[in-house]
């Protein structure tokens, strides 16, 4: 049974969640559940500030509305009354109306192209005149209005609200104003009249995938176009410690160990996969540079970042429409986060301790801990293979975690006059301390061990 510290330290803590589509949301749900179990002194439903982009905005809005991490987990696999069942199909409804409207524009555009060519045959070629037909291309393949309707239903249940102004804590949903390229913070003064569901719809309107969302005569698209997580918003609001979760990481198949991924060429998987990898690479690189810039701006603050590893293939090659795959992604994120917390226990304990927060080693070492049982559901059928709960595999799992720590060059926390382990090289101690998910060199040994015991 989970317990909380007598003195809740949530008033010092902020949460920043990036996007990543439905699979990114499922990943973040697993990470947040692991953090909620293992961190004593933080109530993830009572933080003073939440900052969300795209799918992260959806989860932040859930949390600030009182939807617990356990309820979010149950929603992935269960549709009982009182829950909000997660149906990926909601996010991929074809934009038939947009397609029809654009198709009906084609005859007029074609006539204009021909007329323009006949008027100026020496100025442009006929092929150049046909470029105006590009206006007939849909601005989004999928309809995001069902997403807004889904969210509006969630926030009308059980005393929740779809109104920023009725919240007791600060929720900021970041979107990009298309015609100016500027970030807009829904939930901040001047933009808090917009329904939360509409703001999340705008924040998740990735260009080309979803059409822009019109709010007060302006067109808004995904907030990730400017920054990945906008963690600075939480720091500006006064948070001393910010938990950051980013599912957007490029995949690495070049060094794959698993036979099904070894020497796998992403080009063989088609244009969507190539575009996804390009997008992930650009977004992640920009995030790394952006977070490094926080150090001089926000003295004596801490950012703790969680994200998948480039060889976490369960995150990249998953059919999120599959019930079993959603469970697998959520459970894998949950267990990967628990392993990471245990591997970095000393380092993270020192950072969290500065804010009066305790990382519970007993929870991380609990061999009976199960994601599904912990939220009131039946334990997963793959529990013995994924969790390493049997005595032998449990010992092997812990041994490999220790090996990862040594191979990664882990050092004990340094004295206060020196930067703590995990901060960016060259940054002074007074700057923002950024702790990132460790990249374990022994991970392939763990994967091989799991295959042997599976």
Give per-residue pLDDT as tens, 311-358. Answer: 877 777 776 666 678 888 999 999 999 999 999 999 999 999 999 999
Longest dimension (CA), the chain: 82
* Distance, CA of 60 to CA of 150 (rounded, Å): 15
Q: Mean pLDDT of all residues in the chain?
A: 80
pLDDT at residue 290, as a whole number: 82
* Distance, CA of 438 to CA of 348 (rounded, Å): 12
Contacts of 93 (CB under 8 A, 6+ apart): 142, 143, 146
Greater confidence (263 vs 154) lies with 154
Q: What does pTM read for this prediction?
A: 0.79
* Distance, CA of 139 to CA of 210 (rounded, Å): 7
Q: Do residues 22 and 58 lie in contact, with contact meaning Cβ atoms separated by under 8 Å?
A: no
Nearest to 219 by CA among 252, 177, 270: 177
Burial pattern 309-319, b for ≥16 Cβ within 10 A else e, equals bbbbbbbbebe
Q: Do residues 114 and 414 lie in contact, with contact meaning Cβ atoms separated by under 8 Å?
A: no
Chain segment 284-311, per-residue pLDDT in tens: 888 888 888 888 888 889 999 999 988 8
Helices (H), ranges, 78-121: 96-119
Going by the DSSP 8-state scheme, the letter that residue 195 receives in this structure is B
Chain segment 232-278, per-residue pLDDT in tens: 999 999 999 999 999 988 888 877 656 665 556 888 888 888 888 88
Number of Cα atoms under 13 Å in the Cβ half of residue 370: 15
| DSSP-based three-state secondary structure for 133 | helix
For 136, the enclosing helix (H) or strand (E) is none
């Amino acid at each position: 049974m989970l317990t909380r510290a007598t003195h809740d330290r949530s008033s010092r803590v902020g949460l920043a969640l990036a996007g990543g589509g439905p699979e990114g949301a499922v990943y973040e749900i697993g990470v947040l559940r692991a953090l909620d179990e293992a961190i004593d002194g933080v109530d993830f439903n009572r933080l003073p500030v939440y900052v969300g982009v795209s799918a992260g905005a959806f989860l932040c809005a859930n949390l600030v509305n009182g939807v617990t991490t356990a309820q979010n987990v149950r929603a992935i696999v269960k549709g009982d009354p009182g829950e909000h069942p997660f149906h990926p199909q909601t996010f991929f409804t074809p934009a038939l109306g947009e397609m029809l409207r654009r198709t009906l524009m084609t005859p007029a555009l074609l006539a204009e192209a021909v007329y323009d060519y006949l008027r100026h045959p020496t100025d442009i070629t006929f092929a150049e005149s046909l470029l105006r037909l590009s206006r007939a291309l849909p601005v989004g393949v999928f309809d995001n209005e069902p997403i807004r309707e889904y969210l509006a239903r969630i926030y009308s249940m059980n005393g929740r609200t779809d109104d920023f102004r009725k919240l007791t804590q600060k929720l900021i949903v970041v979107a990009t104003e298309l015609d100016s390229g500027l970030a807009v913070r829904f939930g901040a003064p001047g933009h808090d009249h917009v329904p939360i569901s509409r703001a999340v719809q705008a924040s998740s309107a990735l260009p080309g995938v979803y059409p822009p969302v019109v709010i007060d005569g302006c067109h808004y698209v995904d907030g990730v176009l400017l920054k990945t997580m906008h963690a600075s918003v939480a720091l500006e609001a006064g948070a001393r410690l910010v938990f950051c979760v980013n599912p957007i990481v490029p995949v690495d198949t070049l060094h794959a160990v698993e036979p099904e991924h070894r020497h796998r060429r992403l080009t063989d998987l088609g244009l969507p996969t190539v575009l996804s990898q390009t997008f992930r690479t650009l977004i992640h690189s920009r995030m790394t540079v952006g977070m490094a810039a926080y150090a001089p701006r926000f003295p004596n603050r801490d950012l703790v970042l969680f994200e998948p590893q480039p060889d976490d293939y369960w995150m990249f090659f998953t059919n999120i429409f599959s019930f079993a795959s959603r469970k697998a992604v959520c459970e894998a994120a949950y267990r990967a986060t628990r392993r990471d917390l245990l591997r970095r226990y000393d380092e993270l304990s020192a950072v969290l301790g500065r804010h009066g927060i305790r990382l519970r080693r007993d929870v991380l070492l609990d061999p009976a801990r199960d994601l599904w049982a912990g939220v009131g559901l039946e334990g997963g059928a793959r529990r013995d293979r994924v969790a390493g709960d049997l005595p032998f595999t449990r010992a092997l799992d812990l041994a490999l975690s220790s090996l990862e720590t040594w191979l990664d060059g882990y050092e004990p926390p340094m004295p206060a006059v020196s930067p703590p382990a995990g901060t960016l090289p060259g940054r002074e101690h007074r700057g923002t301390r950024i702790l990132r998910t460790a990249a374990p060199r022994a991970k392939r040994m763990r994967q091989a061990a799991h295959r042997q015991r599976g």
